[in-house]
Amino acid sequence: MEIAQQATPGDFTADEAKSIAGASGAGAAYGLAAIGPGIGIGYLVGQAVQAIARQPEAAGQVQTTMFLGIAFTEALALIGFVVFILLKFV
């Protein structure tokens, strides 16, 4: 990062500048794409723990539903990662 900060705009070729901008944009896009699933999974697990604490006999059903919800929510992060890879290499 220091090298990019010390260099002046005339030091890079157009392809290098495009590559740097693409990598920065793709990294920021994936970072933003990971925020939503992170919040969603945290909320989902918290509510599942609360449900199990209130009704322990339904723990098996709550856990099954929780794991399905985690899988679907994590799929959003994986889609964001695929978009990151596409932006980086295409």
| pLDDT tens digit sequence for 6-35 | 655 567 788 888 878 877 877 787 888 788
pLDDT above 80 (res 53): yes
Tokens of 68: 């399905």
Q: What residues contact residue 77 under an 8 Å CB cut-off, 6+ apart? A: 33, 34, 37, 38
Q: Is 12 helix (H, G, I), strand (E, B) or coil?
A: coil
